């Protein structure tokens, strides 16, 4: 699995065969076969996936929204295209591998039935044979909060409209993360009990689905609302959503009941982050690689419980920007 920041390799094996499996994993990772035929097969398969994505209005809307928000050349704004993938050669893959796949940038996590001492000895033996090449880490330019509003329409032969709307949001590791998570849940984080879910979908029947979500990255994250609606309901749905954003950002009329429900729901979701030993170590590894505090996960419940109504109201006024929305509509 490869993302914008991390690459993840997952291996499952019988406990009694762990050393053989680990040795094979290291061989694949550090001594890859640069097979031209396999490379071309992979490129062709990826090109076919991109062609299918171009027929998915939701995917088209999401990609266009990122580009409008960050810009086509920004790491979080650019998306692969048939042309860009078609230009890749196996030499490009080798160069990328040599630049970034270095032992100092790798993290090994293990869960299951194993001996910690045996794993440690294996790691020491493996590490002694490694050769390190200096890596020039990418430098991320922080983006300012705030942007100009803009609406873009992409015409597709579909019967409904797929809409992505939002603006830049939190920086990673922001002290406002927990109150913002609560705010986002109240506004649109749950499809039926959130404000958008109840009003836009359940009460008014203006949407097949509507929800908000948020994310962070090294430059600045985003706050986004995703909406699927009838083409004839598009204008009124957008109008009502903006009314909610204006109301919550200017009046910050969040109730104690909404606060309590959001905190309880987020804490209940937290429990399922740890539904297996594998998920625990995988999540911990991701947090470490992305620079989160070592005790982030263990202190999550305590920090969530401490969030006050005033904190949530403050982040609503600070981050929700109804007049700075980027709106992308894919529809008829």
Q: How does 6-17 read in b/e, with b if 16+ C-beta sit within 10 Å? A: eeeeeeeeeeee
Residues of the chain with CATH 3.30.830.10: 150-331
| pLDDT on residue 103 | 80
Segments of the chain scoring below 50 in pLDDT: none
Question: What CA–CA distance (Å, rounded) separates 15 from 20?
Answer: 10
- Treating both helix axes as pointing N-terminal to C-terminal, what angle do 116-127 and 18-30 enclose, rounded to 10 degrees? 30
| pLDDT on residue 66 | 96
| pLDDT on residue 142 | 87
Burial (CB count within 10 angstroms: exposed 0-12, middle 13-18, buried 19+), residue 214:
buried
| pLDDT on residue 244 | 97
| pLDDT on residue 31 | 87
Give first-to-last CA distance, the chain, whole Å: 34
| pLDDT on residue 146 | 82
Q: What kind of fold does domain 150-331 have according to CATH?
A: Cytochrome Bc1 Complex; Chain A, domain 1 (3.30.830)
pLDDT digits (tens, 9 = 90+) for 261-319: 999 999 999 999 998 999 999 999 999 999 999 999 999 999 999 999 999 999 999 99
pTM of the model: 0.90
Question: What CA–CA distance (Å, rounded) separates 155 from 65?
Answer: 15
């Amino acid at each position: 699995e490869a993302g914008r920041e991390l690459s993840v390799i997952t291996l499952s094996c019988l406990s009694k065969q762990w050393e053989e499996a680990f040795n094979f994993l290291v061989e694949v990772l550090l001594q890859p076969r640069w097979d031209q035929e396999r490379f071309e097969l992979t490129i062709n398969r990826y090109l076919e996936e991109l062609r299918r994505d171009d027929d998915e209005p939701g995917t088209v809307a999401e990609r266009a929204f990122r580009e409008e928000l960050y810009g086509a050349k920004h790491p979080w704004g650019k998306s692969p295209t048939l042309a860009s993938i078609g230009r890749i050669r196996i030499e490009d893959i080798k160069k990328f591998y040599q630049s970034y796949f270095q032992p100092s940038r790798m993290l090994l996590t293990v869960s299951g039935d194993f001996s910690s001492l045996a794993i440690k000895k294996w790691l020491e033996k493996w590490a002694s044979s490694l050769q390190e090449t200096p890596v020039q880490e990418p430098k991320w330019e922080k983006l300012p909060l705030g942007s100009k509003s803009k609406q873009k329409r992409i015409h597709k032969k579909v019967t409904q409209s797929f809409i992505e709307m939002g603006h830049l949001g939190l920086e990673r590791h922001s002290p406002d993360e927990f109150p913002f998570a609560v705010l986002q849940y109240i506004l649109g984080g749950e499809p039926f009990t959130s404000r958008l879910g109840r009003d836009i979908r359940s009460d008014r029947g203006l949407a097949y689905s509507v929800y908000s979500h948020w994310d962070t990255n090294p430059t600045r994250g985003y706050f986004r609302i995703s909406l699927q609606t009838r083409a004839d309901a598009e204008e009124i749905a957008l109008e009502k959503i903006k009314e909610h954003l204006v109301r919550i950002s200017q009046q910050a009329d969040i109730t104690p009941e909404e606060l309590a429900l959001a905190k309880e729901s987020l804490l209940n979701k937290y429990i399922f982050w740890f539904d297996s030993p594998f998920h625990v170590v995988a999540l911990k590894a991701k947090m470490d690689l992305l620079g989160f505090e070592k005790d982030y996960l263990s202190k999550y419940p305590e920090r969530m419980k401490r969030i006050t109504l005033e904190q949530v109201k403050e982040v609503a006024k600070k981050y929700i920007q109804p007049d700075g929305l980027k709106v992308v509509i894919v529809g008829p």
